[in-house]
Amino acid sequence: MHFWPFDGWDIPAGRSVIAEVYPALWSRGFAREGRTGDQHDAFSIAAWLSRADRDGTLAGFLKPDLTPPERAVAQVEGWILGVPGLIRAGKGCARHDSCEGKTVR
């Protein structure tokens, strides 16, 4: 069992992973189809993970673009899988990131 990112950003082959997720990142992108809110959250996470694995983008989400100090903090405090790296000077605000204390949606 690998607790991401606490056990490291790289996941050893053959290991199962536990990671923090935020269903609202993906749930609006999938039809509800009669599921309860909790069921839809679980479905959305599974569907997003499956799609990201198939299209090759999951690996990038497992290695967000963080500075070394940000990475050190995230390895202690945690990180939400699917959230890109924090804002860099000159890059502007990314969706779902915090920009000078304001959440951008």
What would the pLDDT profile of 49-104 be if each residue is shown by its tens digit? 999 999 999 999 999 999 898 899 998 999 999 888 765 544 444 444 333 333 33
Cα 98 to Cα 92: distance, rounded to the nearest angstrom = 10
Q: What is the pLDDT of residues 52-66, one digit of tens each?
A: 999 999 999 999 999
Domain with 54, as residue range(s), is 2-103
Q: What is the pTM of this model?
A: 0.71
Question: ∠90-22-31 over CA atoms, to 5°?
Answer: 105
- Domain count across the chain: 1
Element (H, E) at 15: none
